[in-house]
Amino acid sequence: MTDNNDSAGRSTSGLQADLFYPETEREPGDGNIQRWGFDIHPVVFPVALLIIGVFVAVTLVLGEQAATIYSDVRGFFEGNFGWFYLLSVNLFIVVLAYFALSKYGEITLGGVEAEKEFSDFSWMAMLFSAGMGIGLMFYSVSEPLYYFTNVPGFFDVEAGTGGAGIAAMTQTFFHWGFHPWAIYGLVGLGLAFFSFNRGLPLTFRSIFWPLLGERIYGWPGHLIDLVSVFATLFGLATSLGLGVAQINTGVSYILGENMLGILSVPNNTGMQIALIAVITLIATASVAAGLEAGVRRLSTVNVFFMFALLAFLLVVGPTMSIFGAWVQGLGNYFSDFLSLAFFTGTLGDGASTVHSWTVFYWAWWIAWSPFVGMFVARISKGRTVREFVFGVFVLPSLFSTVWLSAFGGSALFNSLQGNGAVLATYGEAGQTVAMFALLEQFPFSAVSGLLAVTLVVTFFVTSSDSGSLVVDHLTSGGKHNVPRRQRVFWAVTEGLVASLLLYGGGLGALQTAAIATGFPFAVVLVVMCYTVYLGLDKEYELLQSEEFAERIEDLADEDIDFAVGRSRTSVVTNVRENPGTTDD
């Protein structure tokens, strides 16, 4: 997206603004403080900094006690609200599918005059890099191996058998398939619609315009955006913590005695903080370059690296077993979809998997949803609701299953029919080493391992970049573009927060922060289902109105191009033949 539009959502003049924008004199960021190279919201920016500072300070002051407290907090949310996480995310899938398949699927994000601002490939590359990159690199091998030896309670099979391998792939597909992308898709759709179609600020407060009206510019809106900032920052910090742990392990494993034996790299919190510092500098340079020059190009590089690593494993790995695991895993995923989606383990022996894995994932995705959803919204102008849902919900979910089959399936093949080295190394050294233990089983392991490390680093950078841009929007009153100094400030802040929390409470602190912020935000998203419906329904009603038909006639006579999710000719022809209506 170009960086020359400072007027945020109200960038469109003409038909969309005249007929569809709400009647308000407020503009995104119109009450901002502009000083010292910053353009900040007078409430959200300082209060967000205060809340973040207090949370980090408490973690550092408590020291070793922090781990115990975070464990108790995490257990409280998982034990008492797991059912709510499961139910709400299932609701999001139903709502998103309804929007895409119903009459609302033809509505264009950005309105009748909107055009796509990125190619399909660039769009997919950016949204996938923001949504799943680090997580898939971290868990694609370790999670199936965990279920292979600790079979989830949903499945009645013996650990370490072929049946356990099937269960492992099915459970992993479930966690990385449609559910997380439904969360991202719903949030992205709501933000894109109310910003681009209604000209409101690109922040979460705008989604509640149908319920709050002008009050979104007051304290109700401030509170919504503050929760969004908190959830974004700590959801992102969790992923950065996972990513830097894997980078540290990968460099130590490849350069150390396990592979090349040329350098001993310590694998500890101090080294991970140093790595965060170095990578944050890279991310700072990228985010300073802006969305087009920095994030888009780096996201494209990510996708090429990801395809290269995937192709390598498909060629040198157990190819037939990978495709077999993918097909069988998909079959079991689809057949068990509803049962898994609503399985709480309350009446059986499966609660531990649900609480430790599923609830954590759902809370983590929800905590990430302001970040990923807003970023996806930012790059999706000009796409129809149906196209948006297909691109955000369906395609990434299916690609995730291919990736998981290649890496997780290869690890399971090694455990069942190979030398078992991957599982043994995983059992000894933990999750962070699993990916590299797998790659060690194939030719050119040092090269593929270094490529994997590079991929984690680039995902780290794009996540930090995207998160900085999103927090910028939230703390600048919804402006699409903010000063470069402000983008740099938030890139540095994200790295600093992740480092301090790793130092004070470890990865547990980051994961607890994600789960704790995920719960109140899940409530926000449930309400958002209704407000997005109200907005889309109003848009469709206006598209059906006689006033809109008359304006289309005028534009047709003037030979002015526009887009409403279908061809210009078909809309003009339909309106002329059926005044007051548009195509379903």
Q: Residues 77-110: pLDDT tens digits? A: 767 778 888 999 999 999 999 999 999 999 999 8
User: What's the rounded Cα separation, in Å, for the pair 192 and 186?
Assistant: 10
User: What's the rounded Cα separation, in Å, for the pair 539 and 531?
Assistant: 12
Candidates 197, 200, 130, 220; CA nearest to 464 is: 130
For residue 409, the SS3 value is helix
CB within 8 A of 384, min separation 6: which ones?
105, 106, 107, 108, 109, 565
Q: Residues 523-534: pLDDT tens digits? A: 889 999 999 999
Top pLDDT among 74 and 353 is at: 353
Question: Is the confidence at residue 569, as pLDDT, over 70?
Answer: no
Enclosing H/E stretch for 33: strand 33-35
Top pLDDT among 224 and 409 is at: 409
Note the pLDDT of residue 574.
46
Tell me what percent of the residues of the chain surpass a pLDDT of 90: 27
Question: Is the confidence at residue 240, as pLDDT, over 80?
Answer: no
Supply the mean pLDDT for the chain: 80
Question: Is the confidence at residue 267, as pLDDT, over 50?
Answer: yes
Stretch 201-227: mean pLDDT:
87
Question: Is the confidence at residue 28, as pLDDT, over 50?
Answer: yes
Note the pLDDT of residue 535.
93
Question: Is the confidence at residue 4, as pLDDT, over 60?
Answer: no
Question: Is the confidence at residue 303, as pLDDT, over 70?
Answer: yes
The model's confidence at residue 566, banded by pLDDT at 50, 70 and 90, is very low
For residue 548, the SS3 value is helix
* Listed range (126-140, 175-189, 373-387) with the worst mean pLDDT: 126-140
DSSP 107: P
Q: Residues 408-464: pLDDT tens digits? A: 999 999 999 999 999 999 988 888 888 889 999 999 888 898 898 888 888 777 777
Look at the domain 47-544 and name its fold. Amino acid/polyamine transporter I (1.20.1740)
The CA angle 168-174-175, to the nearest 5 degrees, is 95
Note the pLDDT of residue 129.
63
Q: Residues 483-497: pLDDT tens digits? A: 778 878 888 888 888
The model's confidence at residue 478, banded by pLDDT at 50, 70 and 90, is confident
Asked whether 32 and 477 are in contact (CB, 8 A), the reply is yes
Question: Is the confidence at residue 31, as pLDDT, over 80?
Answer: no
CA distances from 526 to 79, 361, 398 (A): 20, 17, 25
Note the pLDDT of residue 378.
81
CA distances from 206 to 28, 100, 230, 259, 397 (A): 10, 21, 18, 53, 28
Label residue 443 exposed, middle or buried (CB < 10 Å: 0-12, 13-18, 19+). exposed
Note the pLDDT of residue 8.
40
Note the pLDDT of residue 509.
63
CB within 8 A of 104, min separation 6: which ones?
385, 536, 537, 539, 540
Candidates 375, 31, 33, 383; CA nearest to 184 is: 375
How many other CB atoms are there within 10 angstroms of residue 495's CB atom?
25
Note the pLDDT of residue 575.
43
Residue 113, strand partner residues: 563
503: tokens are: 């130092």
Residue type at 136?
A: L
Sequence length of the chain is 584
Question: Is the confidence at residue 371, as pLDDT, over 80?
Answer: no
Question: Is the confidence at residue 499, as pLDDT, over 60?
Answer: yes
Asked whether 294 and 465 are in contact (CB, 8 A), the reply is yes
Q: Domain spans of the chain?
A: 47-544
52: tokens are: 């973040």
Q: Return phi, psi of residue 39, to 5°.
A: -135, 90
CB within 8 A of 146, min separation 6: which ones?
168
User: What's the rounded Cα separation, in Å, for the pair 233 and 231?
Assistant: 6
Top pLDDT among 466 and 424 is at: 424
CB within 8 A of 508, min separation 6: which ones?
67, 70, 71, 74
Question: Is the confidence at residue 579, as pLDDT, over 70?
Answer: no
Stretch 328-337: mean pLDDT:
94
Residue 40, strand partner residues: 33
Question: Measured in Å, how far apart are the chain's first and last C-alpha atoms?
Answer: 30
Note the pLDDT of residue 424.
93
Note the pLDDT of residue 286.
72
Q: What is the pTM of this model?
A: 0.83
Note the pLDDT of residue 1.
37
Note the pLDDT of residue 226.
87
Stretch 59-64: mean pLDDT:
74
